[in-house]
Amino acid sequence: MKNVVLLGSTGSIGTSTLKVVEDMPDRLRLIGLAAGGNVDLLVEQTARHQPGTVSIQDPSRVEALQQRVGSSVKVLSGTDGLVALATLPEADIVLIAIVGTAGLLPALAAIRAGKDIAVASKEILVMAGELVMNEAKAHGVRVLAVDSEHSAIFQCLEDKPAESVRNLWLTASGGPFRDRTKWPREALAQVTLEQALKHPSWVMGRKITIDSATLFNKGLEMIEARWLFGIEMSRVQVVVHPQSVVHSMVEYVDGSIIAQLSTPDMCLPIQIALCHPERVKSDRVKTNFAAIGSLTFEEPDTERFPALLLARQAGELGGTLPAVFNAANEIAVERFCRREIGFLDITRHVRAVMEAHQRIDQPSLDQILAADQWARTVSV
C-alpha cells in the first residue's frame, strides 16, 4: 500500500488521480489533499477518501472548511499547508498537480523529507530543474513524470544513460490552430478565447489548454525534459503528431527509436507514476489501431508558433531565464483570458520580457523566485 499526498486535487489532473486511486484501493491510499478555491469539491473528495489532512489556499476559509469536514480531519492553508502535506511522515509519494508556481516549495520540501515526487506541474522543473534534480539525487528520491510525454520518454528510456540517446522526441498535437491554410499567421491575430480553449485531443485545465494552442506548453515540456532526463536542449526535439497516440519517443545512438503509444487518457501516466516500478492491470485504456487508422507526423511551424524557439533559447541559456519565460507566459495567458491582449501578443510579451531580463547563471532558489516575481511585475 502506498500513501499518496495529492496537491491540486480539484483540478483536471487531480480528479483523474482520484479515479486512479479509486481503481486500486488495495494499492493506493490518499492521506492528504490540497486545493485552491474549490472548497465544495474538496469537501466531497474528503468525505469519499477520508484523508487525515487537507489544505486550501485561503487561510480565511479554514474555519468554514473545518466545520464541513469534521474534527477528525486536520485543515491547513497556504504555502505552509502545502509544505506540511508534502512532508507528512507517513507519505510515500507526493503528486503535484497545482497550476502555476505554487508547487515548487512543496516539491523541494517533499524531496528533502525523502519522499518520491510525481510531477504534473511542469513549472517546477522549468523554473528550478537543476536545483530540484540535484536535491532529488542528494536525497535518493525519484522525480516521476506525470506529463504524458515525459511518462512516455521515461518508459522508453528504462534508466539507460544519457550517452545512449541521440534525441528525445516530444510529440505535440499541434493544438487547435495546427492547420496553416485555415489559420495563417494573420488569422491567429484574431483568435478568440473560446477558439483557443477548444483543444483537439485533451480536456485539460484552462492555462495548459491556452499553452497548447500557442505551443508554449510544448516549450515548457522541452525544458522539463532537459532536466528530468539530464539531456542538453540540442537533443530535445519536437514533432507534431495530431492523433496524440504516440506520446513521445527516444531515438538511441544506434538509430533505433522506441515510442510509447496508447489512446490519450491522463489516467495512464498518473497510474504509471503512482505505481512505479510496477505495471498494474487496468482496463481503463484500450487502444484500437484499426479504428485509429493512421498516425501522421509533421514539422512544427515555428514561424506561426515561435514559442518553441523562445523555449529553446531559455533552455539553452538556462540560469534564471526559464523562470522568466514561464512567469511572463503565465501573466500573458491571464491577460489573454481577461481579453486584454490578443493571441499573438502572448508570444510578443514573453519575448520582450526575456529580452529585458538580466540573466543569472547557477541561480539560488531565492534568485529564481526573485526572477519569477520580476517577470510578473515588469512592464515591457
Q: Which residues bind ligand NAP (CB under 6 A)?
A: 8-14, 34-38, 57, 97-100, 102, 120-123, 147, 202, 204-206, 208, 266
How is residue 298 annotated by DSSP?
Answer: B
Cβ-based nearer residue to ligand NAP, 97 or 310: 97
Which residues in 254-282 are b (16+ Cβ under 10 Å) and which e?
eeeebbbebbbbbbbbbbbbbbbeeeeee
40/179 with CB nearer ligand NAP: 40
d(CA 119, CA 111): 12
CB of 43 to ligand NAP, least distance (A): 11
Minimum CB separation of residue 140 from ligand NAP in Å reads: 25
* Distance in Å, CB of 77 to ligand NAP, minimum: 9
Q: What minimum distance in Å lies between the beta carbon of 125 and ligand NAP?
A: 10
Phi, psi of 229 (to 5 degrees): -110, 5
How many CB atoms within 10 Å of residue 202? Answer: 16
Q: Which is nearer to ligand NAP, 205 or 342 (CB)?
A: 205
At closest approach, how far in Å is the CB of 361 from ligand NAP?
A: 26
Of 266 and 310, nearer to ligand NAP (C-beta) is 266
Residue 300 in contact with residue 345, Cβ under 8 Å? no
Distance CA 187, CA 182 (A): 8
| Continuous segment of H or E residues that includes residue 94 | strand 93-96
Q: How far is the CB of 184 from ligand NAP (least distance, A)?
A: 28
Output 35 or 144, the one with its CB closest to ligand NAP: 35
Dihedral sign, Cα of residue 342, residue 346, residue 349, residue 351: negative
In the complex, which residue's CB is closest to ligand NAP?
A: 11
> Which CB sits closer to ligand NAP, 122 or 349?
122
